[in-house]
Amino acid sequence: MTLLTDLLSAQYLPFILIILIVALASIGFALYLFFKIRALPEGTPRMQEIAKYIREGAQAYLHRQFKTIIIIGAIIAIALIVGIDLMNWLASKFSMVFGAFIIGTACSLIAGYIAMHTATNANVRVTNKVKEEGVSGALKIAFNGGLVMGLAVVGLCLLSVIIMILTMGAVVSEPAAIEGSIIGLAFGASFAALFALLGGGIYTKAADVGADLVGKIEAGIPEDDPRNPGVIADNVGDNVGDIAGRGADLCESITGQFIATIVLAVILFEAIGPPDQYLAMLFPLVSCALGLVATLIGKLFVRGKDTDEPWNILVKGMYVTTVINAGFFLLICFLMFEGNAALYFFGAGVLGLVAALSIGFVTLYYTDERYRPVKSIAKATEGGPATTTISGLSAGLESVGIPVFIMIGALIGSYFLGQAAAPALGIASEEAATFGTAIGALGLFSVCGMVLSLDGYGPIVDNAGGIAEMAQLEDNVRKETDRLDACGNTTKAYTKGYAIATVALAAVLLFQAFNHVVKQRATIEFILTDPLLLGGLFIGAVVVFVFSAFALRAVGESAQDIIKEIRRQFHEIPGLKEGKEGVHPEYAHCVDIATVSALKHMIIPGALIIITPLIVGFALGVTAVAGLLIGAIITGLAMALFLNNGGGALDNAKKLRKKLRDKSDPQSMQCYNAAVQGDIVGDPMKDTAGPSINVVLTLILTIALQFAVVFVIY
């Protein structure tokens, strides 16, 4: 009897059907929303022309990026073949590992493409809706554009994982036989996401820095002014970095969470076997599927009037989704676990939900212009760029503390709640406690559909404002798109805090899975005083810093190329800077420079992350790898929070100074220029290095988990 036969029995079939139906329905509804958005009018010929430039630039970049990723992926696949051929005992399973890696890579790339394609079609329609009707209708289009990303990405992750389990279940009889193969799925998703997010981040911030430095500071022209040769590349960057990159990022985070929980379920419940083992394997997928249903219900509450604050309209959907999701979580806990275990695991899930909301709002405090940190940075602009940057870095460092304590609380609380469930489950208390932490992380992940929708909203309205400026629409239109964009800054800050929290908890789960896989096959104890473990800890910490340095340097070097091109055009094209009628910049040149430079600079830092755990594992052994993982998780979490929040605070301080500036007052303009220069420093922090660390953690851990058994042998 195969595993598939067991899973299709009456006890488990309803849960599998829920997963499949919700996954397919979410993808189908995402397609419906996409075509509904595309059917809306695009506005004036000039608006359509600008939108076409942005769309074509984004598509050209993604196509070239995909080719690069496929080439690198082929090299890794060949290396896997060679490595696994050397390990004869693993050769029989290679085809499934290889297939899972390919599927994971494809899912991550498809997720990014869907997100980008939707955003580049929604942006101009948001602008036109503001022009024709007002804010509320435009907000709905932008949110629906983000919802396409949320539904499609999460639905795709669900579908790929359940199909992989069912497919492999047809040829194996025991759950333990699918461990190595499904880890390949997470490995592929993380591999593609690293290059998608890093390359997109380099592109978007190189273009942004170049356009801002020459346009705002040197030429003295407004943001998104059509005279700026880098303005199209800047708007393209919003889509390939903040949209396509984020879609791939969340895809790999969700997949990694699923795989880690499934591997833990297989190992921790092995002693008691079915039905509890199978139900624990399916639990993460069922909880996420019902989270998508909660997201669709929450969508119904995202509505309001033109006079309402956009953030208040959107956050209603988040609150409703969270409450409904808590109810669903309680239901499936009682359906899939017995006795008190259901109640304890529900408590662990609620801790995750509360942590998700709390970390988002702490991030808002440090990055929103209404609160002390951003106001203090805006005040520091009176002293010039140096004091502005120092204040921003200080805010970023300060912001690390509270989110880390929230995550510690969620982890420890869910651990002890899981431990309390041990008697009802019939497994050892340590194993139940470990699974409790997995449930806590699932609670945080279960609202990812709504969070992704809010995340997609931000870049769409940012592009909409850029199109309004470049098309030279009426001042009232630009004023209303600014309202939407201000809310977009809030949603982006909120969702970045959420993304870091999800990755941190997923990383902890992946490490727990690594620990249990190793201990299944060898009597190894990880002792803190072991020099190999300590050496690995330091290597893990250093890798995060070196990767961040590579990412920031890549933005700086790419931006220099774009700056030179923008200066050349202002110098060589007569009448461009003055806005002479009939004179237009050569937008395509900046787009090409940003594309080539981003793809070139993403390879070395990406390779660093892929080869480091392999070198450490083969040279120093599995104990050093354990240290590497712990060091990377701790340092990566702190570094990601610092870079994201510090950069976000500098960005919003600039926006606050823009609101307060008086163009007739030289002192006011000096403060604004100082804020712009602070933002130029913060941009690659929050949009390139910071988000990329999320994928770094998942990728290092999935590689270590994939090769854990090999490291034990060596």
Is the pLDDT higher at 303 or at 96? 303
CA 202, CA 658: separation in Å to the nearest integer?
25
CA 209, CA 559: separation in Å to the nearest integer?
6
Helices (H) and strands (E) in the chain, counts: 25, 0
Give the 3-state DSSP-derived string for 245-268, with helices as H, strands as E and coil as C. HHHHHHHHHHHHHHHHHHHHHHHH
pLDDT at 473 over 50: yes
pLDDT tens by residue, 186-207: 888 888 888 888 888 888 888 8
Mean pLDDT calculated for residue range 359-366: 88
Task: Show me where the domains of the chain are located.
Answer: 3-713
| Closest by Cα among 72, 105, 73 to 185 | 105
CA 561, CA 189: separation in Å to the nearest integer?
31
Poorest-pLDDT segment among 327-336, 411-420, 655-664 = 655-664
Predicted pLDDT of residue 392: 93
Poorest-pLDDT segment among 12-16, 139-143, 523-527, 618-622 = 523-527
pLDDT tens by residue, 571-614: 888 888 777 777 788 888 888 888 888 888 888 888 888 899 99
Q: Give yes or no for a cis peptide into 175 (omega within 30° of 0).
A: no
**Unique residue bearing structure tokens 């500071």:** 217
* Both structure tokens of 65: 């990026």
pLDDT at 151 over 70: yes
DSSP-derived secondary structure letter, 88: G
The pLDDT > 70 percentage for the chain reads: 97
676-690 as b/e: b if 16+ CB within 10 A: bbbbbbbbbbbbbbb
Predicted pLDDT of residue 346: 92
- How confident is residue 489, by pLDDT bands cut at 50, 70 and 90? confident
pTM of the model: 0.88
Which amino acid is residue 120, in one-letter code? T
- How confident is residue 91, by pLDDT bands cut at 50, 70 and 90? very low
Q: Phi/psi of residue 245, each to 5°?
A: -65, -45
Mean pLDDT calculated for residue range 222-229: 78
Predicted pLDDT of residue 79: 67
**Unique residue bearing structure tokens 């290092």:** 700
296: CB partners within 8 A, 6+ apart: 26, 29, 151
Mean pLDDT calculated for residue range 384-398: 93
* Both structure tokens of 459: 């870049």
| Closest by Cα among 315, 323, 187, 186 to 259 | 186
CA 513, CA 506: separation in Å to the nearest integer?
10
Is the pLDDT higher at 10 or at 682? 682
Q: What is the mean pLDDT of the chain?
A: 85
Mean pLDDT calculated for residue range 244-273: 83
Burial of 394 (0-12, 13-18, 19+ CB in 10 A): middle
pLDDT at 83 over 60: no
pLDDT tens by residue, 446-469: 888 888 888 888 889 888 888 888
Predicted pLDDT of residue 88: 46
Is the pLDDT higher at 221 or at 289? 289
Q: Phi/psi of residue 677, each to 5°?
A: -70, -35
Predicted pLDDT of residue 431: 86
Predicted pLDDT of residue 487: 82
